[in-house]
A and B are shown apart, each in its own frame.
Chain A
Amino acid sequence: MAIWVIASLTWRELVRRKLVLALLALTGIVIGVTGWGFSRVPSLHLAGHPLTQGEIHTAAAQLLLLVMFMFSFVLALTCAFLAAPAIAGELESGVAQSLLSRPLRRRDLLLGRWLGLSLPIAIYTAVSVALEFALVDWTTGYWPHLPVASGAALLGEGLTLLTFTLALSTRISAITAGVISVIAFGTMWLGGVAGAFGQVFHNAAITNVGVATHFLLPTDGLWHAAVFAMEPSSFAGEASRGLGSTFASATGPTVAYLVWVVLWLIVVLGLALWSFEHREA
């Protein structure tokens, strides 16, 4: 099946270009460094007294959210950098013309690329998140209450940006698609922060900015879903009193929101297919 031919070609490219090696090495370093940091938490003192188990968990949870925020940022950038040249780069270089002169449907080329990038991203996310959670549990005893959901939300965040960038890559140059995606990702994050401010100051207009960004490009919305799944229940309580921020979420995502995210992915991927089908190669 042509989709698998293209997907396996993409996997081989990721290996040959040493991207997999780089991700493995960097993940190893990050796990090692954060592991050392988490292992120091139980021996910390507060006002001359050792931390209680509850305080250790709270500190570990805060640190974990910080580490995972960085991970989500790295994941998003990785997705943008991988997807930006996936179509545009091959069109610019002429490789795509050679492939498309074969009995290969454009939709198979695009879906093969999407699959070829999504699966390694899914594996990378699952392995990184599982290792980090296990490490935190081993060193501090803290374990997120919805570990699978948090990993899924982080993966969803990555796939959202990957799909968005791939759609851009069917029409504009690789470098422009990558830059637009990164800026859009940052803007959505800022929108989320603005929304949190709006909640604190009970300003409906600013709050709505945050809500709108969660729907427009659901990266920040999914980050907050991941936060809710990773944070202790006390954080959710704080957030429910209007202190929601990048690192606290009062509630988990609604089913309607999750349906919206799935629909968003399908629609944007459909737009990417339509766009690629209707352009000149």
Chain B
Amino acid sequence: MAEGVAESQVADESLLGSDALAISSSPAIYVSQLTKRYGQTLALSGLSMSVPRGEVFGFLGPNGAGKTTLVKMLLGLARPTSGESMVLGSPAGSLDARRQVGYLPELFRYQGWLTAREVLALHCRLAQLERSARPDAIRGALATVGLSHRADDRIAGFSKGMQQRLGLGVALLGNPQLVLLDEPTSALDPVGRHDVREIVRGLRDQGVAVFLNSHLLSEVEQVCDRVAVVDHGRVIATGRLAELLGRPQVRVRCTGLAAEARQGLSSFGKLVDDEGWLTVLAIDPGRVPDLVAAIVEAGGRIYAVDPGQQTLEERFLQLIGGG
């Protein structure tokens, strides 16, 4: 009997152990068929996606695409109409999930009658940080976001950019495993934006997943490992940036190319004419010299060759049907 109890305990412990393992190896964000309806408006329409741990993930979409709605659902601030969402292995919005998440809201507002240090102290208490760890956590957050010199000033006197820096500091408290940043640089100057990029890269180096909701595509392009493009409440494209942007292209400024000769170049890739430029899409980079030779051989005169890749902005516009 005693052995039976012991066996049962071992089984329970191993089960707990496997649960813990499952949680620790689960994605930072897992969303399946998430739908959110506000009256007649469908904010999310069966949205599904997954964000691995330790990745910087860009979440892009036009205004009203459902980006902020998703972020709110991940935090339990809004409830789904249907579907499933998990954060770090726990149901989205649960206390367990929120314990491991840092969040910078799009509307970053903090108590104006508190000082920056007091706001951070408040969030340390709410994040249930050990009392002894709080002073270092606050000092570290202030230093990271460059607010050490204004730590004891009231927030009411802060500029928008400084408040956003403070919000970022708040999001970094408590060693989160996932940081949700909703338009984190909307109020920042170029220096501030550079600082944010460095902070995001630093988080990735520490194995922290960052979910970056931003309109600034160049910013996303610089720091994100993977992106998802959302439109009308569902993901319309997702993947690593290189995958999403497709194969390289080359633009050639040339004249004197007859239509028949131009047709012959289509073996290099899809051809697009654009105000004196001939763009060859999805070309193998090793074949660019052959392309140049083929144009010259066909009687064309070349003035410029511009190898490159589609920008994220171009791809984004293409995906949402604006370009």
**Residue ranges of A at the interface with B (Cβ–Cβ < 8 Å):** 2, 5, 9, 12-13, 16-17, 93-95, 97-105, 280-281
Contact = CB atoms under 8 A, between A and B. Distances in A.
B253 to A, nearest CB: 50
Contact of A101 (B75, B79, B125): B75
Contacts of A99: 126
A281 B77 contact: yes
Interface string B120-131: 001101111000
Interface string B73-97: 0011111000000000000000110
Contacts of A104: 98, 126
Nearest to B118: A12
Contact of A5 (B107, B113, B122, B170): B122
A214 B319 CA distance: 63
Contacts of A2: 126
Nearest to B125: A5
A235 B101 CA distance: 63
Nearest to B104: A98
A196 B99 CA distance: 57
B103 interface: yes
B105 interface: yes
Interface string B25-48: 000000000000000000000000
A97 B77 contact: yes
B126 A280 contact: no
Main SS of the interface on chain A?
A: helix
A182 B76 CA distance: 33
Interface residues of B, number: 28
Interface of B: 72, 75-79, 95-96, 98-99, 101, 103, 105, 107-111, 113-114, 122-123, 125-128, 167, 170
Nearest to A91: B77
A103 B126 contact: yes
Contacts of A281: 72, 77-78
Given A5-B126, A9-B122, A103-B95, A95 B75 contact: no
Contact of B108 (A12, A94, A102): A94
B192 to A, nearest CB: 19
Contacts of A100: 75-77
A280 B77 contact: yes
B109 A94 contact: yes
Contact of B79 (A16, A93, A98, A280): A280
Given A101-B103, A102-B127, A93 B109 contact: yes
A97 to B, nearest CB: 5
A102 to B, nearest CB: 4
Contacts of B75: 97, 100-101
Question: Considering residues B110, B111, B127, which has the most beta carbons from chain A within 10 angstroms of its beta carbon?
Answer: B111
B78 to A, nearest CB: 5
Contact of B113 (A13, A93, A97, A98): A13
Nearest to B74: A101
Given A97-B72, A97-B105, A280-B79, 13 more contacts: A12-B114, A95-B109, A97-B77, A101-B105, A102-B98, A102-B123, A102-B126, A103-B98, A104-B98, A104-B126, A105-B95, A280-B78, A281-B78
Contacts of B123: 98, 102
Given A102-B123, A105-B95, A280-B79, A97 B107 contact: yes
Given A102-B127, A103-B98, A94 B113 contact: no
Contacts of B125: 5
21 contacts: A5-B125, A12-B113, A17-B113, A94-B105, A94-B109, A97-B105, A97-B107, A98-B103, A98-B167, A98-B170, A99-B126, A101-B98, A102-B98, A102-B123, A103-B96, A103-B98, A103-B126, A104-B126, A280-B78, A280-B79, A281-B72
B89 to A, nearest CB: 15
A130 to B, nearest CB: 30
Contacts of B114: 12, 16
A98 B105 contact: yes
A93 B122 CA distance: 18
A9 to B, nearest CB: 6
A55 to B, nearest CB: 51
Contacts of B107: 93-94, 97
A277 B107 CA distance: 22
Contacts of B77: 97, 100-101, 280-281
B284 to A, nearest CB: 47
Contact of A103 (B72, B111, B122, B128): B128
Closest 8 CB pairs of A and B: A94-B107, A102-B126, A16-B113, A101-B103, A94-B109, A281-B77, A103-B95, A103-B99
Contact of B101 (A12, A98, A101, A105): A101
Contacts of A103: 95-96, 98-99, 126-128
A198 B268 CA distance: 97
Contacts of B96: 103
A93 B107 CA distance: 8
Contacts of A17: 113
A12 B154 CA distance: 13
A80 to B, nearest CB: 21
Question: Considering residues A2, A93, A101, which has the most beta carbons from chain B within 10 angstroms of its beta carbon?
Answer: A101
Contact of B109 (A12, A16, A98, A280): A98
Nearest to B69: A280
